[in-house]
Amino acid sequence: MKIIIINGPNLNLLGKRENDIYGDETFNDFFEKLQQKFPILSLSQFQSNIEGELIDKIQETGYSYDGIILNAAAYTHTSIGIADAVRAIETPVVEVHISNTFSREEFRHKSYIAPNAKGVIVGFGLQSYELALQSFFK
Known binding-site residues for substrate equal 71, 77, 84, 98-99, 108
Per-residue burial over 57-96, b = 16 or more CB atoms within 10 Å of its CB, e = otherwise: bbeebbeebebbbbbbbebbbebeebbebbeebebbbbbb
Cα angle vertex 85, ends 66, 95, to 5°? 60
Residue from 93, 99, 117, 121 binding ligand DQA (CB under 6 A): 99
Active-site amino acid positions: 22, 97
Tell me: does residue 120 bind ligand DQA (CB under 6 A): no
Residue from 26, 35, 51, 73 binding ligand DQA (CB under 6 A): 73
Tell me: does residue 10 bind ligand DQA (CB under 6 A): yes
Total site size for ligand DQA, rule CB under 6 A: 10
Among 44, 19, 12, 20, which Cα is nearest to 31's? Answer: 44
Tell me: does residue 55 bind ligand DQA (CB under 6 A): no
Tell me: does residue 71 bind ligand DQA (CB under 6 A): yes
Tell me: does residue 108 bind ligand DQA (CB under 6 A): yes
How many CB atoms are closer than 10 A to CB 119?
Answer: 13
